[in-house]
Amino acid sequence: MIATIQKWFESKGGFAHVMAAVFASLMLAYAAVPQFHALVLQIHALLPGWSQELLTTGLALYAWYRTTNKQPAGN
Question: Which tens digits make up the pLDDT trace of 6-17?
Answer: 887 788 878 888
Domain spans of the chain? Answer: 1-32, 33-68
Q: What is the pLDDT of residues 59-74, one digit of tens each?
A: 889 888 877 766 665 5
Our CA angle for 57, 67, 73, nearest 5°, is 105
pTM of the model: 0.57
For the cut 80, the answer to whether the pLDDT of residue 3 exceeds it is yes
Secondary structure of 27-50 as H, E, C letters: HHHHHHCHHHHHHHHHHHHHCCHH
Do residues 30 and 40 make contact, with C-beta atoms less than 8 angstroms apart?
yes
In sequence order, which residues have a C-beta less than 8 Å from that of residue 30 and are 6 or more positions away?
A: 36, 37, 40
